[in-house]
Chain A
């Protein structure tokens, strides 16, 4: 099995020891791992080379920020560059000045064009357009039936002339029909074809010549390997693509092909497909795909936030005290407060992969108030008690409970949690001087009731399953023509 990219990166970057500025050597070492990581994600070899060169130049000589290790600093640069490379242009669909707008979906066999066509039609319909699906795949057995079934499901008309008519003629007639019906968007589902099949590639060019499309979207399977570069280049050369749809992202592919296609064509990725069910296509989020290609989920931003808000110096002091067995309830409270600075728990948890869909987030709200209670309990203790919890006999516990308005059981619980935290900190005290990824995660774990972040990261659910419904379509652009 492939080693997770984030693991290998963390490992390589953990090795970096430079202080102040990133040296050439540091970066070179990290870049080797980055290269491997991107290759494992199926980014094309040549694209990887260019990318790594670019990042190397940017990274060398950078100040290492106080809150980051040099390794983390490199990851940050890599991540930012990757996001930048895939982002840029807005994913708006270009609408024709005079309707109907023509959108043509093209791509290899099995990429997911038909499903994407139906999803796109649904997106348009939900934005009050009147789409027409056009069945121009006259080759694959039952391809037209498939589009018709989907059309019925989402209540969008499907134009077909069967399989015996030339695809060019089908699209021409469809345009007449669209005008007649007052349809404002025409979505053409073409047959899958190999980019080296000259005859079929010519067919696409002929369609484009007869009925110029406003958008020509290349549909790419997220699982595509190195060959994506040849495919993208060939389609782009023949048709001048305007955008890309990345499908099957609900699988576990890293989706490096997206980067390849973006680099090869310069076209923006406009939509992503996240399932077989016909739902509106999702808008593309470059940052999410960047962390996915790097194998990091949204954990990256969580860690970043932890590193920004957690005070490294305090953490170090705490660790020193722990070594000398001085870790007190004051330190415990300080630790909790630090973690709380990350933000409301329900927000933090949403940044973890797969958690955005989880029910019962309200329970976490409760945990927030639990933190306040812990604070109250510890505040009700004397300085000596806080320094030496061993002093807390039954009568002292009763007093504290009374003083902070809780039960003795609550006090016991806090003392137990403190003991657990101390044990845990002991185990991790060898981990390093800085508040690294582990320590940050560890701090999260020590919050009472907080789910184990490592388990969450291991969760198969994927972080791209956002709930955003807006598919980047222009709203009410062309109002309904008829009536």
Chain B
């Protein structure tokens, strides 16, 4: 099964629930304003947001005019192209360190799936023969370390930890030291979930990043903002706030195995130009896929 199929299958429910309505829209209809109005509504109902929905519809409308279309037969292809355009420039490659360990920092609000994503990614890397170390820098939430330790066992990698309430930057420091001495390739840093409007907690993140940069030149090689695919327009606020504090380099969208559409990806990529790197498609250790904008657009638009 190719990436496309797996992706499409993961998104099955999204397609059925809302984007599925698109296929109804595309079925042999006369092309008039009501079609575009419906398209706008379906997109908004997929969390695409009003601005980007209007933008997409306008692109499709222009293209339809250029092609002098009179029915809806080719509309799905046009919408797919518009989405790909909105997502263009998205590169799901992960940056690696030229020499010495590579460090990825995972950030996000509470409960979005940071720890789970780390578990899945650790497994992926370990299977490729890349040696991974996990840093349990969520020292705040009850049993957060225990949770990461279980993922570490599942993925077969070491977890560097300290006690509850320890300084997260110190945990990360320990992990860097451990990675250097054991010649590990990749360090995945879990952090505590934090709401982006809490200045003190955001400052703590900035501090972690500073320690990382000092101890490991060129690091963090990626700062990945994890977004819950169920989230609505607040995902934009989250992106903006985390971006300001730790310059986010990529996005992970989780929980796309439900009926949530993750449509909020579109305005985020369009407005912030931050690439989506991974999508979470379930709670299992294998349920992580690299993001592919063409596959995403196709999965969404093609019946």
Chain A contact residues: helix, strand, loop or mixed: loop
A108→B283 contact, CB < 8 A = no
A460→B197 contact, CB < 8 A = yes
| Shortest distance from the beta carbon of A216 to any chain B beta carbon, whole Å | 20
A251→B260 contact, CB < 8 A = no
Question: Which of B142, B237, B283 sits near A150, CB closer than 8 Å?
Answer: B142
B47→A225 contact, CB < 8 A = yes
Q: In the docked arrangement, what's the CA distance between A254 and B258, Å?
A: 23
A141→B146 contact, CB < 8 A = yes
Q: In the docked arrangement, what's the CA distance between A146 and B111, Å?
A: 13
Interface segment out of the listed B70-78, B82-90, B166-174, B227-235 = B227-235
B255→A109 contact, CB < 8 A = yes
Tell me the chain A residues, 17-61 only, with Cβ under 8 Å from chain B: 36, 39-42, 44-46
With a cutoff of 8 Å between Cβ atoms, the chain B residues found around residue A388 in the complex are none
As a 0/1 sequence over residues 238 to 259 of chain B, the CB contacts with chain A under 8 angstroms (1 = contact) are 0010000000000000010111
A103 within 8 A of B: no
A251-B230 CB under 8 A given contacts A109-B255, A110-B112, A227-B261: no
| Shortest distance from the beta carbon of B243 to any chain A beta carbon, whole Å | 11
Most buried by B among A139, A153, A230, A251: A251
A253-B234 CB under 8 A given contacts A45-B45, A226-B46, A230-B259: yes
| Shortest distance from the beta carbon of B269 to any chain A beta carbon, whole Å | 15
With a cutoff of 8 Å between Cβ atoms, the chain B residues found around residue A1 in the complex are 236-237, 240
B295 within 8 A of A: no
Q: In the docked arrangement, what's the CA distance between A194 and B235, Å?
A: 20
Q: In the docked arrangement, what's the CA distance between A276 and B260, Å?
A: 25
With a cutoff of 8 Å between Cβ atoms, the chain A residues found around residue B41 in the complex are 45
A42→B233 contact, CB < 8 A = yes
B233→A40 contact, CB < 8 A = yes
B203 within 8 A of A: no
Count of chain A residues with a beta carbon within 8 Å of a chain B beta carbon: 48
| Shortest distance from the beta carbon of B161 to any chain A beta carbon, whole Å | 12
A141-B230 CB under 8 A given contacts A39-B44, A227-B259, A248-B195: no
A223→B231 contact, CB < 8 A = yes
Most buried by B among A46, A108, A143, A147: A108
With a cutoff of 8 Å between Cβ atoms, the chain A residues found around residue B59 in the complex are none
Tell me the chain A residues, 398-430 only, with Cβ under 8 Å from chain B: none
Count of chain B residues with a beta carbon within 8 Å of a chain A beta carbon: 49
B143 within 8 A of A: yes
Q: In the docked arrangement, what's the CA distance between A147 and B240, Å?
A: 32
B260→A225 contact, CB < 8 A = yes
A146→B228 contact, CB < 8 A = no
With a cutoff of 8 Å between Cβ atoms, the chain A residues found around residue B263 in the complex are 225-226
Residue of B nearest to A251 (CB): B195
Question: Which of A39, A40, A221, A460 sits near B230, CB closer than 8 Å?
Answer: A221
Q: In the docked arrangement, what's the CA distance between A257 and B110, Å?
A: 17
Tell me the chain B residues, 22-45 only, with Cβ under 8 Å from chain A: 41, 44-45
| Shortest distance from the beta carbon of A117 to any chain B beta carbon, whole Å | 12
B47→A250 contact, CB < 8 A = no
Tell me the chain A residues, 212-271 only, with Cβ under 8 Å from chain B: 221, 223-227, 230-231, 248, 250-254, 256-257
| Shortest distance from the beta carbon of A219 to any chain B beta carbon, whole Å | 10
A112→B110 contact, CB < 8 A = yes
Question: Which of A109, A146, A251 sits near B234, CB closer than 8 Å?
Answer: A251
B195→A194 contact, CB < 8 A = no
A256-B111 CB under 8 A given contacts A196-B13, A251-B196: no
Tell me the chain B residues, 50-95 only, with Cβ under 8 Å from chain A: 50
B291 within 8 A of A: no
A111 within 8 A of B: yes
Q: In the docked arrangement, what's the CA distance between A248 and B47, Å?
A: 19
Tell me the chain B residues, 196-249 only, with Cβ under 8 Å from chain A: 196-199, 228, 230-237, 240
Besides A1-B237, A253-B232, A253-B237, 13 more A-B contacts (Cβ < 8 Å) are A40-B50, A41-B233, A110-B112, A142-B144, A145-B146, A146-B146, A194-B255, A223-B109, A223-B232, A226-B45, A252-B234, A252-B237, A276-B140
Question: What 3 A-B pairs are tightest by C-beta distance, nearest first?
Answer: A225-B232, A110-B111, A42-B232
Query: Which positions in A face B, CB cutoff 8 Å?
Result: 1-2, 36, 39-42, 44-46, 108-112, 139-143, 145-150, 153, 194-196, 221, 223-227, 230-231, 248, 250-254, 256-257, 276, 460
Query: Which positions in B face A, CB cutoff 8 Å?
Result: 13, 17-18, 41, 44-47, 49-50, 109-113, 140-144, 146-147, 149-151, 195-199, 228, 230-237, 240, 255, 257-261, 263-264, 283
A-B contacts, 6 of them at CB < 8 A, read A109-B111, A149-B142, A153-B142, A196-B258, A225-B230, A226-B47
